[in-house]
Amino acid sequence: MIKCEKTVIVPFDMKYLQDYCSGFNTEITRYQWPDPFETLDDARDVLQGFLDEMEKGETLFFSVLSGNGDFLGSVEIHGLTGDCPEVGVWIKKAEQHKGYAYEVLRAVLDYAYSEYGRNEFFYEADVRNEPSNRLLRRLENEYRITDLETEEMITDSGKELRLQGHILTRI
Protein backbone atom coordinates (compact mmCIF):
# COMPACT_ATOMS: atom_id res chain seq x y z
CA MET A 1 0.00 0.00 0.00
CA ILE A 2 1.19 3.47 -0.89
CA LYS A 3 -0.47 6.29 1.03
CA CYS A 4 -0.62 9.66 -0.66
CA GLU A 5 -2.11 12.95 0.45
CA LYS A 6 -5.51 12.41 -1.22
CA THR A 7 -5.38 8.78 -2.33
CA VAL A 8 -4.28 5.29 -1.41
CA ILE A 9 -2.66 2.99 -3.96
CA VAL A 10 -3.21 -0.72 -3.36
CA PRO A 11 -2.48 -3.83 -5.41
CA PHE A 12 -5.46 -4.50 -7.67
CA ASP A 13 -8.01 -6.94 -6.29
CA MET A 14 -10.86 -8.51 -8.27
CA LYS A 15 -13.30 -6.97 -5.80
CA TYR A 16 -12.77 -3.80 -7.87
CA LEU A 17 -13.57 -5.56 -11.17
CA GLN A 18 -17.00 -3.99 -11.65
CA ASP A 19 -15.70 -0.54 -10.71
CA TYR A 20 -12.77 -0.95 -13.09
CA CYS A 21 -15.03 -1.98 -15.97
CA SER A 22 -17.57 0.77 -15.48
CA GLY A 23 -14.83 3.42 -15.20
CA PHE A 24 -12.72 2.14 -18.10
CA ASN A 25 -15.27 3.28 -20.66
CA THR A 26 -15.38 4.70 -24.19
CA GLU A 27 -14.53 8.21 -23.02
CA ILE A 28 -11.51 7.06 -20.97
CA THR A 29 -10.19 4.91 -23.84
CA ARG A 30 -10.90 7.43 -26.61
CA TYR A 31 -7.20 8.09 -27.18
CA GLN A 32 -5.86 4.70 -26.07
CA TRP A 33 -5.15 1.48 -27.93
CA PRO A 34 -7.38 -0.67 -25.71
CA ASP A 35 -11.14 -0.47 -25.89
CA PRO A 36 -13.55 -0.88 -23.00
CA PHE A 37 -14.18 -4.49 -22.09
CA GLU A 38 -17.22 -6.08 -23.70
CA THR A 39 -17.96 -8.31 -20.72
CA LEU A 40 -16.86 -8.75 -17.12
CA ASP A 41 -15.35 -12.09 -18.11
CA ASP A 42 -13.19 -10.38 -20.75
CA ALA A 43 -12.03 -7.88 -18.15
CA ARG A 44 -11.38 -10.61 -15.59
CA ASP A 45 -9.18 -12.49 -18.07
CA VAL A 46 -7.07 -9.44 -18.98
CA LEU A 47 -6.76 -8.15 -15.43
CA GLN A 48 -5.88 -11.61 -14.12
CA GLY A 49 -3.06 -11.62 -16.67
CA PHE A 50 -1.79 -8.37 -15.15
CA LEU A 51 -2.04 -9.90 -11.66
CA ASP A 52 -0.09 -12.95 -12.87
CA GLU A 53 2.60 -10.63 -14.27
CA MET A 54 2.68 -8.78 -10.94
CA GLU A 55 3.18 -12.09 -9.13
CA LYS A 56 6.24 -12.71 -11.36
CA GLY A 57 7.63 -9.22 -10.67
CA GLU A 58 7.07 -8.07 -14.26
CA THR A 59 4.24 -5.58 -13.65
CA LEU A 60 2.93 -3.25 -10.98
CA PHE A 61 -0.87 -3.13 -11.17
CA PHE A 62 -2.58 -0.94 -8.61
CA SER A 63 -6.02 0.41 -7.84
CA VAL A 64 -6.30 4.06 -6.94
CA LEU A 65 -8.67 4.60 -4.01
CA SER A 66 -9.99 7.70 -2.32
CA GLY A 67 -9.25 8.23 1.35
CA ASN A 68 -12.56 6.53 2.18
CA GLY A 69 -11.89 3.55 -0.09
CA ASP A 70 -13.83 4.46 -3.24
CA PHE A 71 -12.32 3.16 -6.48
CA LEU A 72 -10.94 6.06 -8.56
CA GLY A 73 -8.89 4.34 -11.27
CA SER A 74 -5.71 2.44 -11.95
CA VAL A 75 -1.98 3.02 -12.18
CA GLU A 76 0.32 0.47 -13.77
CA ILE A 77 3.90 -0.15 -14.75
CA HIS A 78 4.39 -2.86 -17.38
CA GLY A 79 7.70 -4.41 -18.41
CA LEU A 80 9.23 -3.81 -15.01
CA THR A 81 12.09 -6.23 -15.75
CA GLY A 82 12.98 -4.47 -19.03
CA ASP A 83 15.17 -1.46 -19.67
CA CYS A 84 12.37 1.09 -19.87
CA PRO A 85 9.09 -0.01 -18.27
CA GLU A 86 5.87 1.60 -19.50
CA VAL A 87 3.81 3.59 -17.04
CA GLY A 88 0.15 4.45 -17.33
CA VAL A 89 -2.61 5.91 -15.21
CA TRP A 90 -6.31 6.53 -15.64
CA ILE A 91 -8.84 8.12 -13.33
CA LYS A 92 -12.57 7.70 -13.84
CA LYS A 93 -14.23 10.66 -15.53
CA ALA A 94 -16.17 11.94 -12.51
CA GLU A 95 -12.94 12.20 -10.48
CA GLN A 96 -10.68 13.85 -13.05
CA HIS A 97 -9.13 17.32 -12.62
CA LYS A 98 -8.66 16.85 -8.88
CA GLY A 99 -4.93 16.11 -8.94
CA TYR A 100 -5.28 12.36 -8.39
CA ALA A 101 -3.46 11.27 -11.57
CA TYR A 102 -0.42 13.41 -10.83
CA GLU A 103 -0.29 12.32 -7.21
CA VAL A 104 -0.45 8.61 -7.96
CA LEU A 105 1.83 8.76 -10.98
CA ARG A 106 4.55 10.47 -8.93
CA ALA A 107 4.03 8.00 -6.08
CA VAL A 108 4.26 4.90 -8.26
CA LEU A 109 7.33 6.24 -10.08
CA ASP A 110 8.97 6.88 -6.70
CA TYR A 111 7.98 3.39 -5.57
CA ALA A 112 9.47 1.79 -8.70
CA TYR A 113 12.68 3.72 -8.07
CA SER A 114 12.97 2.89 -4.36
CA GLU A 115 11.86 -0.75 -4.58
CA TYR A 116 13.21 -1.78 -8.01
CA GLY A 117 15.89 0.79 -8.80
CA ARG A 118 14.01 1.92 -11.92
CA ASN A 119 14.83 5.46 -13.03
CA GLU A 120 13.68 5.46 -16.65
CA PHE A 121 10.14 4.97 -17.94
CA PHE A 122 8.13 5.05 -21.16
CA TYR A 123 4.97 7.18 -21.17
CA GLU A 124 2.72 7.34 -24.22
CA ALA A 125 -0.23 9.62 -24.98
CA ASP A 126 -2.16 10.68 -28.02
CA VAL A 127 -1.09 14.19 -29.00
CA ARG A 128 -4.77 15.27 -28.86
CA ASN A 129 -5.16 14.09 -25.26
CA GLU A 130 -4.37 17.41 -23.62
CA PRO A 131 -4.91 16.29 -19.99
CA SER A 132 -2.47 13.36 -20.37
CA ASN A 133 0.11 15.60 -21.99
CA ARG A 134 -0.27 18.27 -19.28
CA LEU A 135 0.17 15.51 -16.69
CA LEU A 136 3.43 14.49 -18.34
CA ARG A 137 4.74 18.06 -18.31
CA ARG A 138 4.05 18.38 -14.60
CA LEU A 139 6.87 15.86 -14.09
CA GLU A 140 9.51 18.07 -15.76
CA ASN A 141 11.07 19.19 -12.47
CA GLU A 142 11.79 15.58 -11.48
CA TYR A 143 12.33 13.88 -14.85
CA ARG A 144 14.14 14.71 -18.06
CA ILE A 145 11.51 14.08 -20.73
CA THR A 146 12.65 12.98 -24.15
CA ASP A 147 9.89 13.25 -26.75
CA LEU A 148 9.81 10.54 -29.40
CA GLU A 149 8.25 10.71 -32.85
CA THR A 150 4.48 10.57 -33.17
CA GLU A 151 3.04 7.38 -34.66
CA GLU A 152 -0.27 7.45 -36.49
CA MET A 153 -2.18 4.19 -36.37
CA ILE A 154 -5.63 2.67 -36.56
CA THR A 155 -6.66 0.20 -33.87
CA ASP A 156 -8.46 -3.06 -34.54
CA SER A 157 -11.70 -1.32 -33.57
CA GLY A 158 -11.07 1.54 -36.00
CA LYS A 159 -9.87 4.29 -33.65
CA GLU A 160 -7.41 6.65 -35.31
CA LEU A 161 -4.59 7.39 -32.88
CA ARG A 162 -1.65 9.78 -32.98
CA LEU A 163 0.52 8.36 -30.22
CA GLN A 164 3.66 10.05 -29.01
CA GLY A 165 5.99 8.21 -26.72
CA HIS A 166 8.19 9.90 -24.14
CA ILE A 167 11.14 8.66 -22.13
CA LEU A 168 11.12 9.90 -18.54
CA THR A 169 14.55 9.81 -16.90
CA ARG A 170 14.76 10.59 -13.20
CA ILE A 171 16.92 13.68 -12.57
Cβ-based burial of 55 (10 A; exposed 0-12, middle 13-18, buried ≥19): exposed
- Residues ≥6 apart with Cβ < 8 Å to 65: 7, 8, 9, 10, 71, 72
CATH number reported for the structural domain that contains residue 27 in this entry = 3.40.630.30
pLDDT at 111: 97
Q: What is the largest CA-CA distance in the chain?
A: 42
* Structural domain count of the chain: 1
- Residues ≥6 apart with Cβ < 8 Å to 108: 2, 9, 60, 62, 75, 77, 87, 89
pLDDT tier, 73 (very low <50, low <70, confident <90, very high otherwise) = very high
Could you report the per-residue pLDDT of 98-125, keeping only the tens digit for each?
999 999 999 999 999 999 999 999 999 9
| Residue from 60, 51, 89, 88 nearest 72 by CA | 89
pLDDT at 24: 94
What residue numbers bound the domain in which 142 lies?
Answer: 2-170
In whole angstroms, give the CA distance from residue 156 to residue 35. 9
Alpha helix (H) residue ranges in 15-121 = 17-23, 40-55, 100-116
Paired strand residues for 59 = 78
DSSP helix, strand, coil percent of the chain (3-state; round to 5): 30, 35, 35
Could you report the per-residue pLDDT of 7-51, keeping only the tens digit for each?
999 999 999 999 999 999 989 999 999 999 999 999 999 999 999
pTM: 0.93
DSSP state of 67: T
